[in-house]
Chain A
Amino acid sequence: MSVALERQRPHVLGSDLQRFWNLTWTLAATDFKLRFYGSVLGYAWTLARPFLFFGVIYLVFSEIAGLDANVENYGVYILFGLVLFQFFSEATNGCVRCLAVRENLLRKMRFPRLVIPLSVVLTAIFNLAGTLAAALIFAVAAGVYPTWSWLELPVIIVAVGAFATGVGLLLSALFVRYRDVAPIWEVASQMLFYISPILYVTTLVPEQYRDWFLVNPLAVLLTEMRAAVVDTSAPHSWDLVGAAPLLAAGALVVIAVVLGLYVFNRQAPRIAEEL
């Protein structure tokens, strides 16, 4: 055999990208399949959850709180906001405990470490595909017709996905050492829900707070989503604030990804023994 000697140590990525992808896909697909396993409605729950939630929120916030004033297609807006935020929340919250949940694979098999959080994100993407399709149908039914600007939606989703992946990697690596990451992130992601424009629109935020408001990458992305999908006449985020908050938001996404990868990579060799 002409193969060279190779040093054995835990891998983050593994040497075989095909295998890496196979593993990620298999784990995500299995998880997706098992999610609603044994429940009567099965897959329908994936759709039922955001839509039921949406129904209640829509009633409360448009009929009682009156947040729909001067907002074109308010219902469609909160539905898309909920779908995107649920994707972010599912991916990051799933990542927190993912290494502990898959402990067996890490301790008893040769398993590229990065597969595990990425498969969580991939499962969230599968769910997003389902809910997004339903949301698009709902949009058309509600009288919001496709425009060329809908093509910006995939870009927005990729940005949300990247942010979620970076945060998820960071959380999963930290959880191995600090178990409080789980309750902290539960609270933090709920706070994020309310400081992001999901139940309301960015234009409703008083002008003096907008600079800080749009440092949150999710706020920027949801503002863009409104302009791209729900109401093409709605302002873009750059119409509302200067460059600084938007650059900061962009930097936050990049930092999340880089820091997530860095911390995960540093923690990876010791995951098996510290879990």
Chain B
Amino acid sequence: MQRTVSTAVEDAPTGPTIPPAVVVDHLSKHFRLPHRRYNTLKERVLHPLQTASYDTLKAVDDISFEIAEGEFFGIVGRNGSGKSTLLKCLAGIYETTSGDAQTRGRVSPFIELGVGFNADLTARDNVIINAIMLGLTRRQATERFDEVIAFAELEEFLDLKLKNYSSGMAVRLAFSVAVQVDADILLIDEVLAVGDASFQRKCFERFDALKAAGKTIIFVTHDMTAVERFCDRAMLLERGRIADIGDPRAVARAYNEINFGRLPHGTIDPSRAAEIRAAWFETADGTRVTDIARGEPLALCVEVAFHSEIAQPRFHFHLRNESHHTIFATSTELHPIDTGTFRAGDSVIVRARMENWLAPGRYFLSPTLAALGAGPGEALDVRMNLNEITVQGERHFDSAVDFPHTIDIERLP
């Protein structure tokens, strides 16, 4: 992924009439990394000439992009790729080395939840103090207090000191305060890595509501599921530069490829025992398609190349819809078939043929390849959303699947 995109305005799904909420113009942020840091006067006096010796870390390196008002924009990248530094520049926490970041409206960063929480104070005091720090007035903080507590579901623990809270409870409280903030632009940095599943769902619902309210949301994360589920656009950073920007699914795919050290399809990596080389969709007669009519039988196909001998590998297929719910999954493990023994250099195509009762919409195929007896997370190769298909149809009900069915009416006497 060496493609560098300087501006991405053409990718914006929003029309040109909407003014950008964020304009980043050739922004760079460099950090000086001294070979030795002199923190005391004595050290500085003893080594007067050595202070000039330092390396420059280009955490963010001359990047430009715009974010439209009301957009949900994802920033992804590996650790150290510059995501958080960029976010801090957008938030006005770091001063840029060159270039600048301009924003329209009030900006509120959520870089860490519960900043300024004090363990010796009660939840009640902490909520008010934290809300004021986040930019509310005391009056607003008091008015919204009940709402905060209700959202956090901590009504019974109001007068408990924060040090007696579990970490999960403290996080819930912090998040509930944070979402009360009146900002036009929210900068969110992986704050959702915490909290239990049901609370995470609640957070995402809240994000949906904020998005519906027209807020601009910039979201830094490692969670590609969230990127695909929420973002209108996403940006992949690599070594402080934009590696990809645009469709969140493409960016998520690029992220997975960078993150797992893979090259785009077509190149064989001999260090792996086996790898998935491609995935596609076919009709019953073997024609490759990118869209298909509802009801027409479909084959999910994956091509696998083996680089060493493997007996009885397992092939898994996951088909997910746009809201990222798995609609259909199957595997050779569920159908205990003899998958065979393969030697280095062998290649196979595996097809899962299915009746297609998917509701109209886009679907994403994620194949997985695993050795016999491999546990969860031990796959030989996983490709998130490697290919997609659009199911065409007239009917547009809000359902995930669309089975063949009849409806009859029996009138009671």
Contacts and interface: CB of A to CB of B under 8 A. Distances in A.
B133 A6 contact: no
Interface residues of A, number: 36
A8 interface: yes
A19 interface: yes
B374 interface: no
A1 interface: yes
Given A22-B138, A26-B132, A109-B111, A8 B121 contact: no
Interface string B99-110: 011111101110
Interface in A217-275: 269-270, 272-273
Interface size class of B (residues with CB under 8 A): 35 or more
B111 to A, nearest CB: 4
B185 to A, nearest CB: 10
A18 interface: yes
A22 B111 CA distance: 22
A180 B116 contact: no
A26 B129 CA distance: 7
A44 B335 CA distance: 77
B118 A30 contact: yes
Contacts of A18: 137
Contacts of A9: 92, 95-96, 100
Nearest to A176: B39
B90 A22 contact: no
Interface in A20-43: 22-23, 26, 30, 33-34, 37-38
Contacts of B89: 8
Given A8-B92, A110-B109, A38 B120 contact: yes
Given A19-B135, A34-B118, A1 B19 contact: yes
Contact of A5 (B23, B42, B96, B135): B23
A3 B96 contact: no
A6 B120 contact: no
Interface in A103-135: 104-111
Given A8-B100, A23-B132, A23-B133, A104 B116 contact: yes
A179 interface: yes
Contacts of A273: 31, 94
Contacts of A178: 39-41, 44
Contacts of B118: 30, 34
B233 to A, nearest CB: 19
Given A104-B115, A109-B109, A180 B41 contact: yes
B120 A179 contact: no
B42 A180 contact: yes
A110 B115 CA distance: 11
Nearest to B21: A1
A22 B137 contact: yes
B155 interface: no
Contacts of B237: none
Contact of B101 (A7, A108, A179, A270): A7
B104 A179 contact: no
A107 B104 contact: no
Contacts of A6: 102-104
A107 B300 CA distance: 48
B88 to A, nearest CB: 7
B133 A109 contact: yes
A8 B120 CA distance: 34
B93 interface: yes
Contacts of A4: 104
A273 B138 CA distance: 30
Interface in B116-151: 116, 118, 120-121, 125, 129, 132-135, 137-138
Nearest to B89: A8
Given A10-B93, A270-B95, A180 B40 contact: yes
A270 B184 CA distance: 26
B71 interface: no
Contact of A1 (B42, B105, B109, B111): B105
Nearest to B96: A9
B93 A179 contact: no
B230 to A, nearest CB: 22
A11 interface: yes
B107 A269 contact: no
A8 B108 contact: no
B103 A108 contact: no
20 contacts: A1-B104, A1-B105, A5-B23, A5-B104, A6-B104, A7-B102, A8-B89, A8-B100, A26-B133, A33-B121, A104-B115, A104-B116, A105-B115, A107-B111, A108-B109, A109-B134, A110-B93, A178-B40, A179-B40, A273-B94
